[in-house]
């Protein structure tokens, strides 16, 4: 499966979606980061292959040889990327899905409407465009917070929207950035930090152990949520 | 001109793979190529096999040629690529088809791609009316 993650808007959590939601559920698929201003994936402890939007042809050639891949298209490159996709007629067929993450800020929702409309203009069918609601608070009702997008879905029927495709706000994603690890690293780390805490030699080690115990707890919840979101997006 | 000789020579040319284009040679085996791709064989594996059989082409050439052959075949066959929009006698844009035919029939085949970058600029330069869209959702949910 080859998935492009994009939105004209920045700060919608494309990197979280690419690295934490998709990658571990797609057989550890490689991430190609199309970003001239990259503040994303590297900081989250994820390995990414960086590429400029203008190298679209090379990317498509490489994608053909792969079974799974995630293409994280940075906001500053989405326009270029789409225009190149338009230029290489039919190249969008190389992608199985276009995942559009969105957060509730009005400006972002407006950019998201344009992202969906632009993808539609490129001839991409509804079934390939999937939305995921990101950074949603537990007590938010997505139908209210994202009413405009539900309206867009009803009126233009140009993309696939599932109210359950939700990633809840979880401070684990911010904390991961500070420790430079991926969610997978945390989940797969077999260390029992409570045991290690008891034998800790200095304050630094103690602090690390305390931080890791909390991080592991948060990671369990985040992973469960991401499992559900993944199922909802692609069902 | 000796018609008999011309006919013989041209036929000989037609059967000489070295004189025929790669596209023509791919066309010879296209059905088997499509079957392999449909079965999940990667394009790279198909290309490798073709190269072993004497037809060498890059991924890019293969991809372009495949698309051209498919397109030609599609336009030759009146039953393929018929859109729901045409069946319903509607303008075959996805929006109209979907709303005319109801939610259960949403055409995948009628999405028409624009090749004009100005169309994208127009979308990017437009500020969507979120309130109007939200009202639409509320109306539908009631």
* Partner-chain contact B111 A156, CB within 8 Å: no
* Partner-chain contact A109 B131, CB within 8 Å: no
Please determine, for the modelled complex, whether the ipTM score is greater than 0.85.
no
Quick one: pLDDT at residue B135? 85
Closest in B44, B124, B132 to A8, CB measured: B124
The three-state DSSP-derived secondary structure of chain A is: CEEEECCCCCCCCHHHHHHHHHHHHCCCCCEEEECCCCCCHHHHCCCCEEECHHHHHHHHHHHHCCCCEEEEECHHHHHHHHHHHHHCCCHHHHCCEEEEEECCCHHHHHHHHHHHHHHHHCCCCHHHEEEEEEEECCCCCHHHHCHHHHHHHHHHCCCECCCCCEEECCCHHHHHHHHCCCHHHHHHCCCCHHHHHHCCCCHHHHHHHHHHHHHHHHHHHHHHHHHHHHHHHHC
- Count Cβ–Cβ pairs < 8 Å, chain A vs chain B: 109
- Find, in chain A, the residue whose alpha carbon is nearest to that of B48: A65
| Pairing state between β A31-34 and A69-73 | parallel
- Find, in chain A, the residue whose alpha carbon is nearest to that of B42: A65
Phi-psi category of B39—alpha, beta or left, where left has phi over 0 and alpha has psi -120 to 50? alpha
Q: Which tokens is A161 given?
A: 């929207």
Quick one: pLDDT at residue A9? 95
B104 touches chain A (CB under 8 A): no
Q: Global pTM? A: 0.68
Cα–Cα dist A8/A196, whole Å: 45
pLDDT digits (tens, 9 = 90+) for B47-84: 998 988 888 888 889 988 999 999 888 887 654 433 33
Q: What is the mean pLDDT of residues A201-210?
A: 93
pLDDT digits (tens, 9 = 90+) for B103-137: 334 444 456 788 888 999 999 999 999 998 998 88
Quick one: pLDDT at residue B83? 35
A156 touches chain B (CB under 8 A): yes
* Partner-chain contact A151 B135, CB within 8 Å: yes
Quick one: pLDDT at residue A100? 98
């Amino acid at each position: 499966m080859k998935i492009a993650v994009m939105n004209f808007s920045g700060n919608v959590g494309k990197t979280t979606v690419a690295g934490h939601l998709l990658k571990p559920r797609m057989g550890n698929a490689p991430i190609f980061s199309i970003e001239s201003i990259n503040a994303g994936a590297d900081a989250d402890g994820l390995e990414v292959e960086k590429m400029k939007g203008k190298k679209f042809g090379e990317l498509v050639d490489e994608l053909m040889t792969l079974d799974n891949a995630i293409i994280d298209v940075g906001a500053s490159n989405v326009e270029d990327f789409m225009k190149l996709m338009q230029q290489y007629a039919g190249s969008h067929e190389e992608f199985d899905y276009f995942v559009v993450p969105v957060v509730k800020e009005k400006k972002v929702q407006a950019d998201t409407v344009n992202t969906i409309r632009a993808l539609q203009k490129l001839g991409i069918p509804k079934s390939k465009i999937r939305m995921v609601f990101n950074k949603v608070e537990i007590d938010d009702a997505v139908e209210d917070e994202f009413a405009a997008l539900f309206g867009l879905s009803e009126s233009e029927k140009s993309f696939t929207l599932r109210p359950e495709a939700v990633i809840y706000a979880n401070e684990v994603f911010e904390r991961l950035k500070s420790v430079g690890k991926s969610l997978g690293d945390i989940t797969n780390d077999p260390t029992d930090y409570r045991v290690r805490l008891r034998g800790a030699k200095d304050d630094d080690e103690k602090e690390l152990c305390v931080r890791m115990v909390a991080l592991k707890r948060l990671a369990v919840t985040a992973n469960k949520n991401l499992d559900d979101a993944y199922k909802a997006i692609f069902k | 001109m000796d018609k008999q000789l011309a006919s013989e020579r041209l036929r000989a040319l037609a059967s000489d793979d070295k004189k025929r284009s790669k596209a023509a040679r791919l066309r010879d085996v296209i059905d088997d190529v499509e079957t392999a791709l449909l079965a999940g064989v990667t394009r790279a594996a198909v290309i490798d096999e073709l190269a072993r059989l004497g037809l060498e082409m890059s991924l890019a050439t293969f991809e372009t040629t495949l698309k051209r052959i498919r397109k030609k075949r599609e336009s030759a066959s009146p039953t393929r690529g018929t859109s729901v929009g045409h069946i319903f006698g509607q303008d075959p844009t996805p929006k109209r088809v979907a709303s005319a035919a109801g939610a259960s029939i949403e055409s995948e085949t009628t999405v028409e791609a624009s090749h004009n970058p100005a169309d994208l600029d127009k979308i990017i330069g437009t500020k969507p009316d979120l309130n109007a869209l939200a009202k639409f959702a509320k109306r539908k949910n009631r």
